[in-house]
Amino acid sequence: MSKMKLHWRILIGMVSGVLFAIAMIQFDGGPKVVSDWIKPFGNIFINVLKLIAVPLILASLIKGVSDLKDISKLSKMGGRTIGIYIVTTVIAVSIGLTIVNFVKPGASISQETRNEMVENYKADTDSKIQQAKRQKEDGPLQALEDLVPSNIFNAASSNGNMLQVIFFAIFFGIGLILIPEKTAAPVKNFFDSFNEVILKLIDLIMLAAPYGVFALLAALIAESPSLDLFKALAWYSFCVVIGLLLMIGVYILFVWIFTKRSPSFFISGISPAQLLAFSTSSSAATLPVTMECVEDNLGVEEEVSSFVLPIGATINMDGTSLYQAIAAVFIAQAFGMNLDLAAQLGIIATATLASIGSAAVPGAGMVMLVIVLNQAGIPEAGLALIFAVDRPLDMCRTVVNVTGDSAVAMIVGKLMNKLKKS
């Protein structure tokens, strides 16, 4: 068993989790047994992954930036990273809009089904709308203001402040570059060793990954709502999944064009992170493994991966933006609204920004979807229509989010001459 490749072990864990849950729900008390005795292990697994997210970002980013030894290199890499991230996000939204306008999944939802769903999911929808309202009340420059923490310990105390920790780490790294090398050496050595320790911890956590995903998927199946609702939303889900698959095709193409690496090299190298993204629905929780895969399997040097990936996990969410575009137009269609070209262009802009603003945690994309809906004048109550299938689609879009970050890491690695020869 121990010789088997990690992605196979994770896959076996996932499939056995699903089968186990299907068997358990046949019994009366089965779902409760799963949620009392299996689910906690899944939660522990996610917690331990999140536990090392902040120390990982601090250590690897400080090491990465200070290894650059040169501020101009840093700004070059930063510019390229952000530029490519924005381009891939706009491509993703455009793919989403094209598919949803072509297939028109919302047109088939009858008024009756619509009313029923709005009624069923009213409470859940209201809570998402409230969360979005809190975010929306902020001024236009709030996001920029939020980037700079006033206290690093406060910032590091919540995984939701990832961007603030990134800001501090880059700032600290710049300080390290600017002081004489000899003076910087002890601090740099400390962070280098700290980084090594964290990487070892990731190795240890990965030993538990197959069991962790078993528990996560078993709990998910045992607690999911009835199949009927899923069926009503089949066309919508189909559009999202096709869009996400196309987006993976776009990454494969970009990786091939820029780095000449084959699709199988890229996909098999990143597959453990993809499977984990699918099981956890969180790019932030997957980050440690994404970094390991990108460095060890795809050959991107740490200097680049430690910069590109933490930033990507927080701001580059192509899967999320694609889903937001499809969901917004689907809801408009279901309410019989016709969106003109200007409204659709508006969706490209807001979905791009909303995906940047989405946190890298389960369900975050749906909260930010409210803002896209508001902007386009689509009824918020429409969220209820897509609630039933949001979790499985969240799992799929998170896979695309981490695949996108990894593809961009390879491309930036190539552009910066930091991609190992295969």
Residue 361 binds to ligand ASP (criterion: CB under 6 A): yes
Candidates 65-73, 188-196, 207-215, 390-398; binding stretch for ligand ASP (CB under 6 A): 390-398
C-alpha distances in angstroms, 284 versus 11, 301, 355?
Answer: 20, 20, 14
Q: Which residues pair with 419 in a beta bridge?
A: 300
Cα(351)–Cα(323) distance, rounded to whole angstroms? 9
Distance of closest approach, residue 300 Cβ to ligand ASP, in angstroms: 20
Using the minimum distance from each CB to ligand ASP, give the nearer residue, 363 or 392. Answer: 363
**Interface with ligand ASP in residues 263-282 (CB under 6 A):** 281-282
Which tokens is 63 given?
């090491």
DSSP state of 29: S
Evaluate whether 330 touches 235 at the Cβ level (below 8 Å): no
> Quick one: how far is CA 64 from the chain centroid?
22
Cα(4)–Cα(167) distance, rounded to whole angstroms? 39
Residue 398 binds to ligand ASP (criterion: CB under 6 A): yes
Evaluate whether 313 touches 307 at the Cβ level (below 8 Å): no
**Interface with ligand ASP in residues 79-138 (CB under 6 A):** none
Q: Which amino acid is at 81?
A: T
Residue 397 binds to ligand ASP (criterion: CB under 6 A): yes
Distance of closest approach, residue 319 Cβ to ligand ASP, in angstroms: 7
Residue 261 binds to ligand ASP (criterion: CB under 6 A): no
Distance of closest approach, residue 417 Cβ to ligand ASP, in angstroms: 29
Residue 259 binds to ligand ASP (criterion: CB under 6 A): no
Distance of closest approach, residue 151 Cβ to ligand ASP, in angstroms: 26
Instruction: Please state the length of the chain.
Output: 422
DSSP state of 25: T
Cα(245)–Cα(248) distance, rounded to whole angstroms? 5
**Pattern 39-58, binding to ligand ASP, x per CB under 6 A?**
--------------------
Using the minimum distance from each CB to ligand ASP, give the nearer residue, 269 or 365. Answer: 365
Candidates 129-137, 177-185, 358-366, 370-378; binding stretch for ligand ASP (CB under 6 A): 358-366
Using the minimum distance from each CB to ligand ASP, give the nearer residue, 177 or 370. Answer: 370
Q: Which of 60, 66, 159, 358 touches ligand ASP by CB under 6 A?
A: 358
Using the minimum distance from each CB to ligand ASP, give the nearer residue, 66 or 324. Answer: 324
Burial class (CB in 10 A: 0-12, 13-18, 19+), 41: middle
Q: Going by C-beta distance under 8 Å and a sequence separation of 6 or more, which residues neighbour residue 238?
A: 103, 105
Using the minimum distance from each CB to ligand ASP, give the nearer residue, 380 or 394. Answer: 394
Residue 394 binds to ligand ASP (criterion: CB under 6 A): yes
Using the minimum distance from each CB to ligand ASP, give the nearer residue, 315 or 410. Answer: 315
C-alpha distances in angstroms, 87 versus 5, 19, 84?
Answer: 34, 40, 5
Residue 352 binds to ligand ASP (criterion: CB under 6 A): no
Q: Which of 88, 283, 290, 406 touches ligand ASP by CB under 6 A?
A: 283
Using the minimum distance from each CB to ligand ASP, give the nearer residue, 62 or 325. Answer: 325
Residue 312 binds to ligand ASP (criterion: CB under 6 A): no
Residue 237 binds to ligand ASP (criterion: CB under 6 A): no
Q: Residue count at the site for ligand ASP (CB under 6 A)?
A: 16
C-alpha distances in angstroms, 306 versus 145, 232, 254?
Answer: 24, 43, 21
Distance of closest approach, residue 97 Cβ to ligand ASP, in angstroms: 17
Site of tokens 């262009």: 345
DSSP state of 294: I
Q: Which of 364, 373, 386, 412 touches ligand ASP by CB under 6 A?
A: 364
Q: Which amino acid is at 416?
A: M
**Which H/E stretch holds residue 126?**
helix 122-136
Site of tokens 């196309």: 246
Distance of closest approach, residue 257 Cβ to ligand ASP, in angstroms: 25
Q: Which of 247, 317, 370, 383 touches ligand ASP by CB under 6 A?
A: 317
Cα(60)–Cα(49) distance, rounded to whole angstroms? 16
Nearest to residue 61, comparing CAs of 300, 288, 310, 297? 310
Evaluate whether 370 touches 350 at the Cβ level (below 8 Å): no
Q: Which of 360, 388, 396, 410 touches ligand ASP by CB under 6 A?
A: 360
Question: Which chain residues interact with ligand ASP by CB under 6 A?
Answer: 281-283, 317, 320, 358, 360-365, 394, 397-398, 401
